[in-house]
Amino acid sequence: MPFLSKMLRFCARHKGLSALFLLGILLEIVYAVAAPLSLKYLVDNAFTPKDLHAFILILSALIIGGVVNIGASAGGDYAIAKLSGGFVRTLRGKLFDHMQKQSLSFYQRFKTGDLVTRYASDMGAIESVVRLAYPFLLREIFSVLLGLALLFSLNWKLTLAMLVGSTLMFAGPRLLQGRSEAANVDFKEAQERFANMIDEMVKGHKAIKGLHQQAAFQKRAGRQMDELFTRGFRLHMASAWLQRLPLTALLILNGIMIGFGGYLIFHDEISVGSFMAFFTLFLSVGQSGTNLSSILPTIIDAGTSFRRVEEILDVQPDVMEADLATDLPDRLPDVRLDRVTFGYTADAKQLKDVSLHVGAGGYAALVGASGSGKSTALQLLARFYDPDAGAALVGGTDLRQASEASLRRLAGLVAQETFLFNATVRENLLLDSGATEAEMVEAAKMARIHERILSWPQGYDTPILQEGGSLSGGERQRMAIARALLRKPKLLLLDEVTAALDPATEAEINALLEMSRGERTVISVTHRLASAVHADAIFVFQDGEIVERGTHRELLQRQGHYAALWAKQTGFHVSQDGLHATVEADRLARLPFFEGIAKELLGDLASLFTTEACQEGDVIVREGEQGERCYIIVRGKVGIWKQIPGQGDVRVAVLQDGDHFGEIALLRNSPRNATVKAMGPAVLLSIRREAFERLTAAHPQILQTLERTLADRL
Ligand SMILES: Nc1ncnc2c1ncn2[C@@H]1O[C@H](COP(=O)(O)OP(=O)(O)OP(=O)(O)O)[C@@H](O)[C@H]1O
């Protein structure tokens, strides 16, 4: 058993404690076995001949032995408490360090519930078996062995008869062991699945409510609880039988002992004193045997748990530090992707032969449609993954050769999803940066969050709750920007960091980043082209490739992908607080289904649009409901979700600034074929069919154009 051998190796490294534990156990057992044996001498040498001297001698020996026994047990308990605690502490530490070294793919493979169950219930099972079951096991094995030797010395015939009968005691558990192990694994898997479901429910509570998924989740939870019940029941029964069988066998053995023992007494083959000692000793050996089999389920349980912990320890991180890793020089770095190809899995490549270079102190923007590979490129520059082919270089060093500590010192990443710790605002900003209070306030001011923090009841001492869920998306983003700026990184990697901000704050943050040119190299992923206008270089991604590169002016002149994206995102006006938007007639003319409609009519049409401001998780359109509005996204991202049989709600697309949806609702009253949900704060313009119909009644040619273009498109 690998678990046992690991424990033994650990004990071998702590020889003093192990010796103390063994000595303690040995003395304890000698006393436990010798006490029943004293009966033989008490009956045969003291009571029967009425010898007071012999009686006092035996009694004194028993009392002294008892005192030694208590001392030895205390010493043994101390040693095993230290050994077991140390073993579990080492294992926990190893698991924790190992998990910290893991790459992102590890956290995609193991869900939160899997990992938490391994830390909590599996570690608990291991701890209890190491602290209680193993010492117990050792004690009982020694007791059985020593007891058997003494039984043989008392009467070998009777001992042999009892041994044959004893095989019964172990046959049962042996047969049941496999079944019990399988039941244990099944139960743990069900626990893991249940923990994952609870985790999903807690994290996704908004989406569950928003998408009316409570009933579906209840059904799923019900199924999992039933599974837990069935598997728990099976495990309980297998364990109960594993414990009960030896007890039954012990009863049969007692019968054999009295019958055959009586026969031997009648034939003068054993004295009454010896038989009494035999009887008492055998009961104690039998009890030890029963104890051995009763702790089997606990040991099986810990074995399974240990294998599950080892399964994690066996996972090698995808991204490992090189043996002779060098420190990245502490100066403004240039950044390069050199013919990089990369796929999260073997069957698809998310980046295909991508090359880009950003000079030291430069400001570059990666733009393109959702899913085109921008964030992936950024993550390679943060060395969250290594390229399958080609290289990611910072300051001229291939990141595979760079030490992780120097990369983390040099580079700061602000990710799309902001995670804040359950600590105060101050603690979240400072972390272990060693920055002063003044530096912290300066960073918060730069990130335009200082005033907001001061407006909270406890200012910088305000606790952040629910991992940042107590803040708005925009506040979380600004906290993350401040946290990154505080570390004064020479390379700043930003992934859609202004997506949740209102237009005014977004413009301020963009200006700040642009102004810091020369102080740090900045690479910013953004789907909003207005944020990229002033970049030194813009890289346009499409399907994992860079299809265009240049400055804003150069790219507009080229009239390619970038220019098309730009045309899609312009022609809107949004108030500074992001609550009111309007669209220009020219912009409507670029919508495929309004093509060919006269300019002045488009002006009337534009005035019929109203603004809708949404927050993350808001459902804009629900699958199956009657559609009566057509939408244009002015700012923000929305997800399109469809009910797919057997898979539930699946996100099938992401739309963003300048995209539109629901245009069929302008023509007829048909049910929506998908749910549309805001993935962050979003501003939309929408037009109702009723308003549209009033316009088309006066100008039927609009309707004819729309009918024609939609018929072509659908
Ligand atoms: N961890 C992952 N495992 C598997 N596929 C992934 C993973 N992360 C992203 N992808 C896929 O890789 C592709 C590129 O994703 P990426 O996040 O780089 O795109 P993006 O251009 O940044 O889009 P967005 O702005 O929506 O984040 C997408 O198809 C996405 O679904």
* Residue 469 DSSP code: T
**How many residues comprise the chain?**
714
CA-to-CA distance for 656 and 637, rounded, in angstroms? 4
Q: Over 80: is that where the pLDDT of 95 sits?
A: yes
Say which range, 305-319, 349-363, 374-388, has the weakest mean pLDDT. 305-319
**What pLDDT is recorded for position 711?**
66
**What pLDDT is recorded for position 176?**
75
- Residue 371 Cα to ligand 1 middle (Å): 5
Average pLDDT, the chain: 84
Asked if 69 and 28 touch (Cβ cutoff 8 Å), the reply is yes
Supply the ipTM of this predicted assembly: 0.96
Domains for the chain: give ranges and CATH numbers.
2-313 (1.20.1560.10), 335-568 (3.40.50.300), 572-713 (2.60.120.10)
**What pLDDT is recorded for position 201?**
79
Most confident of 21-25, 58-62, 389-393, 447-451: 389-393
For range 122-126, the mean pLDDT = 83
Strands of 648-655's sheet, edge to edge?
A: 619-621, 675-678, 638-644, 648-655
Percent of the chain predicted with pLDDT > 70: 96
For range 164-176, the mean pLDDT = 71
- Residue 384 Cα to ligand 1 middle (Å): 13
- Of 638 and 605, more confident: 638
Q: Over 80: is that where the pLDDT of 345 sits?
A: yes
CA-to-CA distance for 685 and 573, rounded, in angstroms? 11
- The residue whose C-alpha atom lies closest to atom 9 belonging to ligand 1 is 376
Residue 404 binned pLDDT confidence (cut-offs 50, 70, 90): confident
Residue 589 binned pLDDT confidence (cut-offs 50, 70, 90): confident
Asked if 671 and 626 touch (Cβ cutoff 8 Å), the reply is yes
**What pLDDT is recorded for position 256?**
81
Q: Over 80: is that where the pLDDT of 118 sits?
A: yes
Overall pTM surpassing 0.90 (yes/no): no
Say which range, 46-50, 159-163, 287-291, 524-528, has the weakest mean pLDDT. 287-291
- Of 12 and 702, more confident: 12
DSSP string, 655-680: E-TT-EE-GGGGT---B-SSEEEESS
- Residue 191 Cα to ligand 1 middle (Å): 31
Q: Is the CB of 373 under 6 A from ligand 1?
A: yes
3-state secondary structure of 309: helix
- Residue 375 Cα to ligand 1 middle (Å): 7
Q: Which position has the token pair 């949004």?
A: 574
Tokens of 388: 């399958």
**Minimum-distance ligand 1 atom for the alpha carbon of 345:** 4
Residue 105 binned pLDDT confidence (cut-offs 50, 70, 90): confident
For range 598-619, the mean pLDDT = 84
Using CB atoms within 10 A of its CB, is residue 373 exposed (0-12), middle (13-18) or buried (19+)? buried
pLDDT by residue (tens digit) across 44-73?
A: 888 888 888 989 998 898 888 889 888 988
Which residues, 6+ apart, have CB-to-CB distance to 570 below 8 Å? 587
Buried residues in 326-346 as b, exposed as e (16+ CB within 10 A): eebeeebbbbbbeebebbeee
Using CB atoms within 10 A of its CB, is residue 102 exposed (0-12), middle (13-18) or buried (19+)? middle
Percent of the chain predicted with pLDDT > 90: 21
Q: Over 60: is that where the pLDDT of 302 sits?
A: yes
Q: State the amino acid at position 538 in one-letter form.
A: I
Q: Over 70: is that where the pLDDT of 405 sits?
A: yes
Q: State the amino acid at position 531 in one-letter form.
A: S
CA-to-CA distance for 482 and 503, rounded, in angstroms? 18
Q: Over 90: is that where the pLDDT of 92 sits?
A: no
Q: Is the CB of 370 under 6 A from ligand 1?
A: yes
Say which range, 59-63, 444-448, 571-575, 704-708, has the weakest mean pLDDT. 704-708
CA-to-CA distance for 64 and 50, rounded, in angstroms? 23
pLDDT by residue (tens digit) across 314-327?
A: 888 888 888 888 99
Direct distance between the N- and C-terminal alpha carbons of the chain, in angstroms, rounded to an integer: 64
**What pLDDT is recorded for position 373?**
93
Q: Over 60: is that where the pLDDT of 705 sits?
A: yes
CA-to-CA distance for 42 and 142, rounded, in angstroms? 25
Q: Is the CB of 344 under 6 A from ligand 1?
A: yes
Q: Is the CB of 374 under 6 A from ligand 1?
A: yes
User: Please, what sign has the CA dihedral across residues 68, 74, 76, 78?
Assistant: negative
Q: Over 60: is that where the pLDDT of 714 sits?
A: no
- Of 665 and 425, more confident: 425
**What pLDDT is recorded for position 129?**
79
Say which range, 16-20, 210-214, 350-354, has the weakest mean pLDDT. 210-214
- Residue 480 Cα to ligand 1 middle (Å): 21
Residue 400 binned pLDDT confidence (cut-offs 50, 70, 90): very high
pLDDT by residue (tens digit) across 539-561?
A: 999 999 999 999 999 999 999 99
Most confident of 334-348, 455-469, 488-502: 334-348
Say which range, 40-49, 88-97, 305-314, 705-714, has the weakest mean pLDDT. 705-714
**What pLDDT is recorded for position 712?**
62
Most confident of 248-252, 369-373, 507-511: 369-373
pLDDT by residue (tens digit) across 181-228?
A: 888 888 988 888 888 888 877 777 666 665 566 777 788 888 989 999
CA-to-CA distance for 38 and 550, rounded, in angstroms? 97
Q: Over 90: is that where the pLDDT of 99 sits?
A: no
* Residue 463 DSSP code: B
**What pLDDT is recorded for position 333?**
94
**Minimum-distance ligand 1 atom for the alpha carbon of 372:** 21
**What pLDDT is recorded for position 337?**
95
- Residue 374 Cα to ligand 1 middle (Å): 8
Q: Is the CB of 349 under 6 A from ligand 1?
A: no
